[in-house]
Amino acid sequence: MFKKRLSKKADVEIQINWIFILIVGGIILIFFIGLITKQKTVSTTKLNINIRESLDTIFTSSQVASGTANLINTPELEVDFDCDNYYVGEFDSGINKPLGKTRIIFVPDRLEGKQLITWSLEWNMPYKIVDFLYIIPKEMRYVFIFNTDDEKSFAEEIASLMPKDVKPEVISVNEISNLEYTNNYKTRLVSFVNQPLSAQLNPSFEKKDLSYVSIVPDSNSKESGKVVFAVYSKNPANNAYDFSYARNTQDASTFPYIDYNPEFVTEKRYPTLLGAIITDSIDIYECMLKKALKRHSYITSIYNGRVDKIILATAEPDHPLKQRNCVAGMYQVTDPNLLSGRQELNPITSLSTSIEKCKNNLAYCDPYGDVQALVSVNKKAQDNSCPLVY
Amino acid sequence: MKMMENVAVMIIFFMLLGLGFIFYGKIGGHGAKQDIEKYVQLQAVKLAKVVAALPEVRCSEENVPVQDCFDLLRVEEAASKIKDTTNERYYFEILGYSRVAIEEKYPGNGSIIVYDNQPDINPTSDLEEIKFSYIPIYIPITLFNATINQYSFGVLEVGTYDK
């Protein structure tokens, strides 16, 4: 009887042991699964922070060194850009950081892949304003389209300026229908053709990220002109894919490009035009152009004050400048075609007014004449061994 | 009795695990402190480079920059423009909490504070004593005065205010 009771008690104890093992085992399992999940989140966040810091270093170094292009190997990237911020990782839960008001970065609205090309160029108007930074994903495809020989040479000139790793294709307008989708996550068509492009592309481009920009240089100079942004999307009217303006109207989709290639630069450069080519987002282009003009405005106000001081010094009776025959008139624009026939004692005042106009309305932005006026004054000052404007 | 034994083993196991985590945390914390110091030093060097490349203050001839040269007239103009409250915010994005000063050493003697932005510290706050260290970098430069066409020697002082 006693033996039977003992055996029953041992059975119960074994069962309780098993329940105990299950509960404790479960707790340990949940604990370690939780730890692994937490570690995974931490390492993803750490990687995103590392990417953000690397991008930040690239942005800062671009402010101090221009004209350099680098191919950077990165971990598998997913970075989204807008006017003010960039987002690493998931758009909602990822790491975001402000770009700031002073960084001018021309970049597609999304970077993907494992290789980035970073490139920077000086923007001179006519003096140095800022270094533009361009970030180009290696996975992005650029196709330049021309029709006439002039357009071909301009397209080839721009293609040759781009970093060698970008490798833009230069094709005739008649070859567009032969173009096929090549598995690039973004394709950008850049048209140098002086008429709106309306072409049925290969069906492989349907539902793919394809953007388009049309370049219309000014008649007197290729250094300034207009860029028209368009997208390739389904037309609801006929259900077929076609090009349409990036914004509602042609005017709203058109922005200027404002470049000046200084004489000392042997190779012509088109920093804002290249910006319009490299970014596929009309919003990013508009935003960066406004930031650049704002920077111009700050620097111009400093240069303006400096020239005022020089002009004031020329008026002093025994000032060394007078002995060097540097008089106030030295800084006046003498070419009647420049400055629209106006006479300004300080040539920067006129450029400053033009830039303020540009800041208020990009559609009426044309500071090229004032830039040329300033170049002529600087040349005159140099020829007469007087203090230079810039 | 056996069950009590098991419970004791589990308690010891979790105690050892806890100790392991505390040790790991301490090592991680020490590493983070070193990382912060490294980051602060890097920021100061970065800032010095940014200042030296600012078109607002550097010398140029026909737009070609002159290495380690600061245009005195531009520096004076920039100092007065940056002090303007409307421009302060814009330059804060470039220079942050820092001090940029230019001192003429020879033949003249003078100093211009181009930018000085110290972080606000609430003096009434006694919860935590916040101290900001100033880590300046001194770079020998030349100063160009365009009106008298003369160069002078000077020093560029760039420092960041870091917690």
3 state SS of A127:
coil
Task: Give a yes or no: residue B27 inside a domain.
Answer: no
How far apart, in whole angstroms, are the C-alpha atoms of residue A152 and residue B117?
Answer: 52
Contact A259, A269 (CB under 8 A): yes
Ranges of each domain in chain A: 47-280, 294-383
Which CA distances in Å does A29 have to A17, A18, A26, A35, B131? Answer: 18, 16, 5, 10, 46
Return the number of other C-beta atoms located less than 10 Å from residue A39's C-beta. 10
Question: Which residues of chain A have a pLDDT value below 50?
Answer: none
The encoded tokens of residue A170 equal: 């230069």
Using beta carbons and an 8 Å cutoff, which residues of A are at the interface with B?
13, 16-17, 20, 24, 60, 63-64, 100-102, 124, 126-130, 262, 264, 294, 298-299, 301-303, 305-306, 309-310, 313, 319-321, 324, 378, 382, 387-388, 390
Contact A257, A227 (CB under 8 A): yes
Task: Give a yes or no: residue B85 inside a domain.
Answer: yes
Return the number of other C-beta atoms located less than 10 Å from residue B2's C-beta. 10
Per residue in A107-153, pLDDT (tens digit) is 999 999 999 999 989 899 999 999 899 999 999 999 999 999 999 99
Per residue in A159-218, pLDDT (tens digit) is 999 999 999 999 999 898 889 999 999 999 999 987 766 667 888 998 899 999 999 999
Per residue in B35-80, pLDDT (tens digit) is 766 776 777 778 888 888 899 999 998 888 898 999 999 999 999 9
Structural domain boundaries enclosing B106: 60-163
The size of chain A, in residues, is 390
Which CA distances in Å does A360 have to A20, A294, A363, A364, B51? Answer: 75, 10, 9, 9, 29
Task: Give a yes or no: residue B47 inside a domain.
Answer: no
Distance from CA of B74 to the nearest CA of A (A): 6
- For residue B6, give the nearest of A20, A128, A378 by CB distance: A20
Question: Into how many domains does chain B fold?
Answer: 1
Task: Give a yes or no: residue B90 inside a domain.
Answer: yes
Task: Give a yes or no: residue B15 inside a domain.
Answer: no
